[in-house]
Amino acid sequence: MKNRKPFASGPSMDVSTAVGEKEASLGREIQAKIGQQLRAVYDDVVNQGVPDRFADLLRQLEQSGAKGRAHDS
């Protein structure tokens, strides 16, 4: 496997700059279509829920945070 470089985030390019200083916007139909496509792609991920191990770690963090707040009082 080749060594991969981390994604380098360059300066963001404003869409309006790319089209010659005209204000660029997407129509409602296009926005709705993009939303539908994103929901279709990520629906399975959203419905998977939180793995048990992560839920356990979150509970532990909440408990230690509660103990820390009680100690600070």
What span, in angstroms and rounded, lies between the C-alpha atoms of 23 and 3? 40
Q: Give pLDDT tens digits along the chain (73 positions).
A: 444 444 444 444 454 455 555 666 889 999 999 999 999 999 988 888 889 999 999 999 999 988 777 767 6
Residues contacting residue 16 through CB under 8 Å, at least 6 positions apart: 22, 23, 24
